[in-house]
Amino acid sequence: MLLDESKNPISSASIEVGCLSGFKPEPIGFYFDIIKKDYNNLKDCVLNVIEIDGRIKCEECGSESRISNQPILFCQKCESGKTKIINGKDINLCSIEVNK
Amino acid sequence: MCEECGCHDNRNKSEEIIINKSLTQENDRLAHMIWHDLDDDGICCINLLGAPGAGKTTVIREISKVLGVDKIAVIQGDLESDIDAKLLADIGIDSYQINTHSGCHLNAHMIMQAIKAMKQDQQLKGKDLLIIENVGNLVCPAGVKLGQSMDIVVSSTAEGHDKPAKYPIIFMNAVISIISKYDLAKYVDFDESSFLRDIRKVNPNIVVVRTSKDDPQSYEKLAKKIKEVRENRKHHNH
Ligand SMILES: Nc1nc2c(ncn2[C@@H]2O[C@H](COP(=O)(O)OP(=O)(O)O)[C@@H](O)[C@H]2O)c(=O)[nH]1
Ligand SMILES: [Mg+2]
Ligand SMILES: [Zn+2]
Ligand SMILES: [Zn+2]
C-alpha cells in the first residue's frame, strides 16, 4: 500500500479517479475508512477523492472533447468515431499531507 | 496536537508530498511483463469477458476447433470448480483453472502465477494464442490489465440488447464484440440495431461478430476476425 510508506501520521491524501477508469469515489472512501483503522499513521487521515472528466481527441478534425457522465466517445465537433481517449482512464494518488 | 501550545491546530506542522502515482501501477507493471514474456514466445493473449453463461467457454471450444486445439492454451477464471477446464480438456485443450473464491475478476499477479505453472508443465510450448476466460462479470474486470493484446466481450442475445447501454466501460475497452446465441435472437426479442447503436456510442470502431452453436461457419468467421485484428494491432499494442 502506497500510503503506509511514510512513518509519520498522514493527515490527508488526495486521489483522482478518471470517469472512464471503472472506479467511483464513493466506495473508495467507504473502504478507506474501514481499512485505515489498521494503520497507525492513517488513523486520522482524511481521504479526498475527486472524479475527473475524461478527454478524447478526434483523429479526423483534431479537436478535443470532454466526457463526464456518459462514456460517449464520438467527437463532439464533427461526430466522427475515430477518437482516442487521452485522459480519464486512470486512478492516481496525487498527494499526501504528512504531519511533521 | 501542537507540541508548542497544546492546541489542535497543526497547519504549520504538516508537509504536502506530491506523489502522482497510479494506484494500479503494480498490476500494470506485471501485466506489461506478461505481455513481453508471451510476445517473445510468439503468443498473443486474449482477455475474454462476459456475463456468467454468455457463452465464453463455448466460444473457446468452437474457435479452438477452427484454429487447432494444439495452438491454444486457456486460463480459466471462476469463483469455484474446474468444470470449464474439464470441458476444454475433453477436446484436448491445455488449460489452467484459477479459482478466485469470492474474487470478482482476475489480476495480473494471478495470470503470472498461472503462466509460470503452465510453462512448468510445457503447456505453452508451440502455442499461438493464450485465451483468458475471465470471471463472468460485466463490471469489475473492465480495464484491468492482464498482459492481453485485446479484450473480447461475449454478450448473448438472451441477455438483452441493452447491455452496452448499461455496462459501457467493458464494451469501451474491447476490440471485438461477439453476439452469441444468435440462434436465439428471434425468441428473445433481441433488438440488434439498438445493441449496435449503443455499442458504437462507446466504441465506434469495435468489430461485431455473431455466433451460434449450431453454425460452425460463424466460428470460422470469428477466428478470421481475430487473426485480422491481431495482424492490425501487431505494431501498436501493450
Ligand atoms: N442456443 C445456444 N446456446 C448456447 C450457445 N452458446 C452457448 N450456449 C449454451 O449456453 C450455456 C452457457 O454457455 P458457456 O459457454 O458455458 O457460458 P460461459 O459461462 O460464458 O462460459 C451452455 O448451456 C451452452 O451450451 C449458442 O450459440 N446457442
Ligand atoms: Mg465458462
Ligand atoms: Zn472531430
Ligand atoms: Zn467486483
State in Å: Cα B156 to ligand 4 middle: 21
Residue nearest to atom 14 of ligand 1 (CA): B55
Q: How confident is the model at residue B2 (pLDDT cuts 50, 70, 90)?
A: low
pTM of the shown model: 0.88
Task: Quickly state the pLDDT bin for A79 (edges 50, 70, 90).
Answer: confident
In this structure, are strands B150-156 and B176-180 parallel, antiparallel, or unpaired? parallel
Q: Does A3 fall in a domain?
A: no
Write the CB contacts of B29 (distance below 8 Å, at least 6 apart in sequence).
none
Give residue A76 CA to ligand 4 midpoint distance, Å: 32
- State if residue B188 touches ligand 1 by the CB under 6 angstroms criterion: no
- Structural domain span for residue A49: 10-98
Residue A2 lies in a domain: no
What are the tens digits of pLDDT across the range B67-109? 999 999 999 999 999 999 999 999 999 999 999 998 899 999 9
Closest partner residue to B17 (CB to CB) among A22, A92, A96 is A96
Provide the 8-state DSSP code for A21.
S
Q: Would you say residue B25 has pLDDT above 70? A: yes
Tell me the C-alpha distance between A67 and A54, whole Å: 5
Average pLDDT, chain B: 92
What residues form DSSP beta bridges with B94? B73
Ligand nearest to the backbone CA of A83? 3
| A34 domain residue, yes or no | yes
pLDDT of residue A81: 83
Say how many domains are in chain A. 1
A19 located within any domain? yes
Q: Does A60 touch chain B (CB under 8 A)?
A: no
More confident residue, B11 or B90: B90
Under the banding of pLDDT at 50, 70 and 90, the label for residue B64 is very high
- A21 close contact with B: CB closer than 8 A: yes
d(Cα B71, Cα B76) in Å, to the nearest integer? 16
From the candidates A10, A12, A19, A20, which should be mutated to test the interface with B, based on the most B CB atoms within 10 A? A20
Residue A65 domain flag:
yes
Q: Check residues B232 and B74 and name the one with the higher pLDDT.
A: B74
* Domain membership flag for residue A4: no
Cell 510468439 belongs to B42
CATH number for position A37: 3.30.2320.80
